[in-house]
Amino acid sequence: MIKQTIIILKPRPRGFHLVTKEITSHLPELPAMGLLHLFVKHTSCGLAINENFDSSVRYDMEDIYNRIVPEHHVAYRHIEEGIDDMPSHAKSVLTGVSLTIPITNGKLNLGIWQGIYLCEFRDEGGPREIVATLVE
């Protein structure tokens, strides 16, 4: 059986945000075994799985991404939507916009230190829409 729901995440500022609880609170009851596929419908943010305990990891990730894809680069052509827009598109491609997570015994089968991140690459990205598909 396949179930699908839309989750609207609250707006967040630029950064890497732990959203595991926000996402799971909008899901129907999870099957004993299956898969959860998450897809964010935007081109200036991403989804990732990473450290869920030490918040310094999220700040370090932001610093790393800003060094890899800097703003104000003279070669950028797509600049009408702000200095953070073109870098956000590049960061989205690097991160990816979807995740697939196994479900075991009715729970997301994440590692003990793993959580789901919304990687917001715009200064003000607004609410983010995620398509959550459960496959049983």
* pTM tops 0.75: yes
Task: Name which of 57, 56, 65 is nearest 120 in CA terms.
Answer: 65
Average pLDDT, the chain: 96
Given this model, what pLDDT does residue 72 score? 87
List, for residues 98-120, the tens digit of each pLDDT value. 999 999 999 999 999 999 999 99
Distance CA 122, CA 100 (A): 24
DSSP strands (E only) in 1-136: 2-9, 13-18, 33-40, 45-51, 98-104, 107-108, 114-124, 128-135
Q: Are 121 and 44 spatial neighbours (Cβ–Cβ below 8 Å)?
A: yes
List, for residues 57-83, the tens digit of each pLDDT value. 999 999 999 999 999 888 899 988 889
